[in-house]
A and B are shown apart, each in its own frame.
Chain A
Amino acid sequence: MSRNRHALAPSRRQIVVTGATLAGALAAPRIGGAQARPVRIGLLHPVTGFVAYSGAQSRLGGQIAIDEVNAAGGIRSMGGAKLEAILGDTQAKVEIGVAEVEKMNEAGVAAIVGCFQSAIVLATTQAAAKYGIPYAVDVGASDLITSRGLKNVFRLKPGFGKCVDEAIKALGGINGAAGGIAKSAVIVHESSEFGTGTAKLLADRLPGINVEVKEVIKHDNPTRNFDNVALRIRSLKPDVLMMSNYQNEYVLLARTLHQQKVDLAGMFSVLGGGFNYKFAKDLPDVAEHMMDYNHWFAPTNPKAQAMKKKVEAMGTLFTFEVYLAYNAVKLIADALERAGSADKEKLTAALAASTWSDHFMPYGATRFVDGQNQGGEAAALQVQKGDIEVVYPAQFASAKPVFPKPKFG
């Protein structure tokens, strides 16, 4: 009996093995959850080349968003799947941008965020469309981006058509309040899709607010010297200068006009590439009273202020590239959460149906029509006493515009 009892009773070794197996089986789902397959997000920007600064800022914004999503537990509906950045550099060249999309597709990205220059956005979104990869445009202003019927393209911010319309409204309001002193303008723009498209719209809309366009001056990137442009502007004697340029040329043009003491009632850029805190800080005399109509965070939103502090603590400026890329990645994270899958079709459908409002832009909940968010709105900004103030629209304004700006000497 006792022997039989002993024969039926589990041995000590069997208890240890069974216990270990049970413990392993119980722990397995938790280990499996922590190891949910990461979702790859392509961050495609020009981090080398003539707009490298803007590219690096965009990449930073995207990476901060990815880190935040991961720190908060990843995509919960996908078992806490982490986001993984696949970095790409367009080098500010169309063909390189397209090649990077091909590489990202090989790497199995679920979505792409990019890529700053309109001309390159046009080509890379088309390349991504071949594989049905959802593409969130962070910066890229051309209206063509969302008017080609590509189902994979989504843009949170407004395109240059809406920006120009709103900028004209802002300028008309500011000029009207000053007694309509601005009656003529010269437009100086860079020669790619962004500058050319914006300038064309400006030339078309300015007469509508009783501002005659005296000349439209186009320049290349890079431009070494704006002395002749300054000479031309001086001879034309416009009341306002409208600018649409990338960072280097924006700064060089503004500086040349200041050094040559060209008197203007105002310098007003639309999506001015060089208008940021650094410009206001490094060249305060040049930047003072310059105006820009550009993407801006909702200044009263605590999340925006918290992120501004975070970015500045990293020794970097809170430029529009940072928060537009950040919000584009968060838009994708929200869609992944709702789709519960990294499947491209499901993700595209989730993006198209997005009503995301957990951002800090003055946009309201997202609503995409043909890939363009309908609530996107920019703001008129002005450098005042070395800082950047929102001067339009009134509900977000932090200061009144100074127009006309004081004359030299």
Chain B
Amino acid sequence: MLNFDIVLAGTVNGLAAGAIYVLVAVGLTLIYGVLHIINFAHGSLLMLAMYAVFFLFTRARIDPYLALPLVVAGSFALGYVLYRFLIGRFAHGKDENILLITLGLSIILDNLALFFFTGDTQTIDVPHASGIVEIGPAFLPKAKVIAFFAALGLCAALGAYIGRSDMGKAIRAVARERQGARLVGIDVEHVFAVSYGIGIACLGAAACLLMPSFYVSPSSGHAFVLIAFTTVVLGGMGSFLGALLGGFVIGITESLGGLFLGEQLGQIGISLIFILILLLRPTGLFGGGR
């Protein structure tokens, strides 16, 4: 029988795991909110960012936390370039083309990773991220505690950027009414590329926070994709706040589901949320009625 301490510890574990889900989902929801497309390359781009962290650590001895600005900037640049010169150019303004391009991109990236990096499981050993922090009855790995607070900080910073900066206002304007935004002189294509870049930059940040406690292989990014999609659907497609709350709800559901139903059956909670939200509130918790 599970006692209160274990349930509490499981909840704390769920919150810590949820912080990473939030980062992955925020990127996905931002891309959806502005471009109105599902980015099928999300898992593959996360995997690519994780390899970047791995190689920066093993080849240049750059700590994954110190590498964060570098990886975030690199991921943003990659996302911007991908949208500007590949997705935007070949989509010809059709959403279905964007879906196909991102799906194709995902397949290409996965196989290139397999070719160049092999299918081997790669890990990094970050001694200062090892060890545990006792939070009540929970023993949290230091890496997860760092990831939790860093993810919250990054989300707050992104929220402030979107809310207060000129580009943030432009992003919101394009998300709400792209034709109107174009008429008032906003470079919509540039905003699309910036939004896609920010979405991928979130994956860069997630990669830096994940690698001290996770591993990377060509298929590792996909482990987070279903979670991210569920989070976005739960929170509301395109809702920043929804992704934030949804990530934590999913993290806690997964954690407590694992405790009560076992690690394998516990995953059922995530699928259940997905189905229930589609049945009862298809727009998600914070989704608009668009």
**Contact surface of A with B, Cβ cutoff 8 Å:** 47-56, 191, 217-220, 222-225, 227-232, 234-235, 247-248, 251-252, 255-256, 258-261, 274, 278, 282-286
Contacts and interface: CB of A to CB of B under 8 A. Distances in A.
A259 B143 contact: yes
**Candidate in B121, B130, B131 with the most chain A CB atoms within 10 angstroms:** B121
Given A53-B217, A225-B17, A231-B9, A47 B119 contact: yes
Contact of A231 (B6, B118, B227, B264): B6
Interface residues of B, number: 44
A119 B8 CA distance: 38
B120 interface: yes
A118 B106 CA distance: 29
24 contacts: A48-B110, A48-B119, A48-B218, A51-B119, A52-B118, A55-B119, A191-B264, A222-B223, A224-B17, A224-B224, A225-B13, A227-B141, A227-B144, A228-B13, A229-B258, A231-B9, A248-B215, A251-B121, A252-B214, A256-B141, A260-B132, A260-B139, A261-B139, A283-B125
A52 B40 CA distance: 21
Interface in B194-228: 213-215, 217-220, 223-224, 227
A214 B228 CA distance: 35
A283 B123 contact: yes
Contacts of B125: 282-286
B184 to A, nearest CB: 43
B123 A251 contact: yes
A52 B255 contact: no
Given A259-B141, A259-B213, A228 B120 contact: no
Contacts of B6: 231-232, 235
B16 interface: yes
Contacts of B119: 47-48, 51-56
A222 B130 CA distance: 23
B219 to A, nearest CB: 5
Interface of B: 6, 9-10, 13, 16-17, 110-111, 114, 118-123, 125, 130-132, 138-144, 213-215, 217-220, 223-224, 227, 254-255, 258-259, 262-264, 267
B251 to A, nearest CB: 9
A228 B217 contact: no
A26 B132 CA distance: 80
B208 to A, nearest CB: 17
A220 B263 CA distance: 8
B141 A251 contact: no
Given A228-B255, A278-B120, A282-B122, 15 more contacts: A47-B119, A48-B110, A51-B119, A52-B218, A52-B219, A53-B119, A219-B263, A224-B17, A230-B139, A231-B259, A235-B6, A252-B214, A252-B215, A256-B141, A285-B125
A227 B16 contact: yes
A49 B219 contact: yes
A284 B125 CA distance: 9
